[in-house]
Amino acid sequence: MQGHYIESKVIHISIPKPAYQQLQKLALQTGRTIPGYVRYLIIQEFQRLNLPIYVTDRSGRTD
């Protein structure tokens, strides 16, 4: 079965160095990269707010 294409947008943020260092620690503890950990946090917040979230893997398939 073919996956569905979901248009995506790129987000850039600036955070203080101590916040970045904390993200580094948390990402490492969970076995994620920093961008992966930020995506994880966003997905968790969407779920908490009962908002729809569309997660794609590297092939572009939706889950």
**pTM exceeds cut of 0.85:** no
CA distances from 17 to 20, 23, 24, 41, 61 (A): 5, 10, 10, 19, 34
- Summarised one tens digit per residue, pLDDT across range 4-58 is 677 888 899 999 999 999 999 999 999 999 999 999 999 999 999 999 887 666 5
pLDDT at residue 9, as a whole number: 86
Of 42 and 1, the one with more pLDDT = 42
